[in-house]
Structure 1
């Protein structure tokens, strides 16, 4: 796989299992992520599992949009999913969790999978022209919130 279009990492003073529980919780991630505002498991799924799908709700200012995602990895070391919008590939999001120094290192990465012709359309819908730069800022803010949540509880 090519390099991610945005990524960052943070050391968290919590167990990998605790961090995994946070990043794989659709409702809980809404309070940590920048644009994600919640999600619903689809097709009878009740939690993270490879192949499970969910509808994600997103917001940025007054703009709102939804996507459909499919979980590709669901173990304590990695939670990842691929995102589609109107049936088109949009992104891959991945959370890698590695044990380290009394806690773990959490790395959040994303890959922009949008076809070139679809990028201007999504920019209008989301209000984001430079998605890589916006995702980098969002990831850094999200990791800070996840670290605080994991270490608090």
Structure 2
């Protein structure tokens, strides 16, 4: 049986949504505070704003330190590429022109609360996943599929944490 699925060069994405019984202002307080993110993630261990930044704004940068059982430990610098309070926060990992990943939170008022989505795109720039693919090019689509499923579970968990805190 031949594996069919996305290749890294396809810039595969995963997106998860949830509805939160809280206004966008309250949800934004949580989404915009990157210091909260490590407590919501198995992989992300710590984050710090760089260059004197203390919150999200286009052009602001932060460093994230991550750990994964199969991929080891690494640090990346992310660049905020989109920031509209109470609406959207997006960042490019490593090189904004050729990111190893793009992440985006989107908030939308809905039914007296907020629909919150989180989306991530792999590539097109190289990442730790690229090295795994280099070692096993015949398994590229499976490697990408497995990693996207990991991100999907992680994003769902992050959104659940944000939902619980916003509704508390």
Gaps of 5+ in 1: none
Structure 2 length normalisation: TM-score?
0.76
Deviation at 1:91, TM superposition (A): 0.5
Specify the alignment match of 2:117 in structure 1: 107
Cα–Cα, structure 1 residues 4 and 105, in superposed 2: closer, same or farther, change >3 Å? farther
Structure 1 length normalisation: TM-score?
0.83
Gaps of 5+ in 2: 1-9, 135-142
Distance 1:73 1:108 in 2: 14
Aligned pair partner of 1:42 in 42, 50, 69: 50
Tell me whether 1:121 sits opposite 2:131 in the alignment: yes
Give the structure with the larger helix fraction.
Answer: 2
Cα–Cα, structure 1 residues 14 and 117, in superposed 2: closer, same or farther, change >3 Å? closer
- Of residues 112-121 and 39-48 in structure 1, the stretch that sits farther from structure 2 once superposed is 112-121
Q: CA RMSD in A?
A: 2.9
Specify the alignment match of 2:154 in structure 1: 138
Q: How does 1:9-24 map to 2 (within 5 A)?
A: 9-24=17-32
User: Larger C-alpha radius of gyration, 1 or 2?
Assistant: 2
Specify the alignment match of 1:28 in structure 2: 36
**Conserved? CA contact 1:27–1:38, under 8 Å:** yes
Deviation at 1:120, TM superposition (A): 3.6
Cα–Cα, structure 1 residues 129 and 5, in superposed 2: closer, same or farther, change >3 Å? closer
Distance 2:118 2:165 in 1: 16
Question: What count of residue pairs does the alignment treat as equivalent?
Answer: 148
Deviation at 1:37, TM superposition (A): 2.1
**Conserved? CA contact 1:34–1:142, under 8 Å:** no
Give the structure with the larger strand fraction.
Answer: 1
Specify the alignment match of 2:140 in structure 1: none
Distance 1:79 1:138 in 2: 18
